[in-house]
Amino acid sequence: MSETLQVSAKFSEINLRIYGPQVVTAARTLAAHPGSAAARENLDVFVDMWAWLLSDAARLAKELLNITDDKPDKQQYSSLPRPGKHGTTSKPLKAVRLDSDEQAKIAKSGLEMKMMSSEMDAETDKAKNMSSMAFAMYQFTKGEGRLNTTQDLFTQAEYFAEEANRLYKIVRQFSYQVPAGTAKKELLEHLDKVPTYVQQLQFTVKEPTVGRAATFSKVDNVIQETKHLMNVISKVVTTCFDCANKYKLDFTGLSAGGAGASRGTRDEESGGGGGTDAKPGGSTSDTAM
């Protein structure tokens, strides 16, 4: 990678970290003062800036993909499911590379997913484990990180869905403390979408595939479903904190109905299964967000 590209990527990352929260703040300001011309103008400026940053990030991603595509020792999706091991194919497959359009499509989804994971990191410690999983999946789209095969990606997506379901149960308990009103209605509207997205991701992960084209399609669908689930989880977390701050509520001690103990047992039992490193790096708990 050239020094110029490294510098451009670094400044792009810095700008995204700086302006991302400001876009959210500007949007909330306008929501609080919908009649303010200054607030609307301020949001328009930040939205234009954000659109430019996304365009710049997409350009950098494309340049990086072009560079890696020229290096045969750095392949995107270089390891497809092995025959007989994961049950996705019956014939031996050679390591193949996606064409530039396929790589660009996956990388774009991965980049969008990474941006949402950064926002979740900023919102709450409770969601950081999910954010870590999503970041690992984003790295997979670049041919990096600890997820080496498509099966690793699918296993990680399964854990992500489980964590989303646990977070749903915790926030559901918290919602009982929130007084009736607009804030609670908004929280429940976002929260009620979580089970649907969890099921969609789980169904997508379990869908059998045969052949390279079907595997690519499944990878793309899994990343898309993960992105949709992360988007609604991010809204749930943000609304949850808004309710906690507005009504001075405390969700310390809330848990997913004792799910933590059973999850720990499942993790221990499945630790050696499947020969994969896709298990989340951080331990999970049912402590408060």
pTM above 0.75? no
Nearest-10 crossing angle of helices 100-123, 37-69: 130
Which of 51, 74, 97 is the endpoint of a domain? 74
Token pair belonging to 198: 């969890």
In a domain, 283, yes or no: no
What's 237's DSSP letter?
A: H
Beta-carbon count within 10 A of 219 CB: 24
Q: Quick one: pLDDT band at residue 34, thresholds 50, 70, 90? A: confident
State the chain's mean pLDDT as an integer: 71
Taking alpha carbons only, the member of 89, 103, 116 closest to residue 210 is 89
In a domain, 282, yes or no: no
Over residues 17-27, the pLDDT tens digits come to 777 777 888 88
In a domain, 66, yes or no: yes
Same domain (yes/no): 86, 156: yes
pLDDT of residue 7: 65
Taking alpha carbons only, the member of 191, 130, 166 closest to residue 260 is 166
Total number of domains in the chain: 2
> Per mean pLDDT, which range of 4-13, 60-69, 77-86 is the poorest?
77-86
* Gyration radius of the chain over CA positions: 21
29-31-33-35 Cα dihedral, nearest 10 degrees? 130
SS3 263: helix
Same domain (yes/no): 187, 97: yes
CATH number of the domain where residue 246 is located: 1.20.120.230
State how far Cα 82 lies from the chain centre: 26
Q: What is the DSSP string of 228-265?
A: HHHHHHHHHHHHHHHHHHHHT---TT--SSSHHHHHHH
Same domain (yes/no): 19, 151: no
In a domain, 17, yes or no: yes
Residue 288 clears pLDDT 60, i.e. is over it: no
In a domain, 256, yes or no: yes
Same domain (yes/no): 199, 180: yes
Same domain (yes/no): 4, 41: yes
Which of 24, 47, 74 is the endpoint of a domain? 74
In a domain, 281, yes or no: no
Same domain (yes/no): 165, 271: yes
Which of 45, 74, 103 is the endpoint of a domain? 74
Give the type of residue at 256: A
In a domain, 40, yes or no: yes
Identify the residue whose tokens are 């941006």. 115
Beta-carbon count within 10 A of 168 CB: 20
pLDDT of residue 51: 80
Token pair belonging to 187: 């929280």
Same domain (yes/no): 55, 108: no
Same domain (yes/no): 63, 84: no
Same domain (yes/no): 18, 139: no
Over residues 153-193, the pLDDT tens digits come to 999 999 999 999 988 998 899 899 999 999 999 999 999 99
Q: Quick one: pLDDT band at residue 259, thresholds 50, 70, 90? A: very low
Same domain (yes/no): 193, 169: yes
What range does the domain containing 14 cover?
1-74
In a domain, 286, yes or no: no
CATH number of the domain where residue 19 is located: 1.10.287
Q: Kindly report the backbone phi and psi dihedral angles of residue 208, in degrees, each rounded to the nearest multiple of 5, phi listed first.
A: -70, 150
Cα 200 to Cα 109: distance, rounded to the nearest angstrom = 17
Q: Quick one: pLDDT band at residue 96, thresholds 50, 70, 90? A: very low
Same domain (yes/no): 171, 197: yes
Same domain (yes/no): 159, 69: no
List the end-to-end C-alpha distance of the chain, in Å, as a whole number. 39
Average pLDDT of the segment spanning 228-245: 85
Q: Kindly report the backbone phi and psi dihedral angles of residue 281, in degrees, each rounded to the nearest multiple of 5, phi listed first.
A: -70, -40
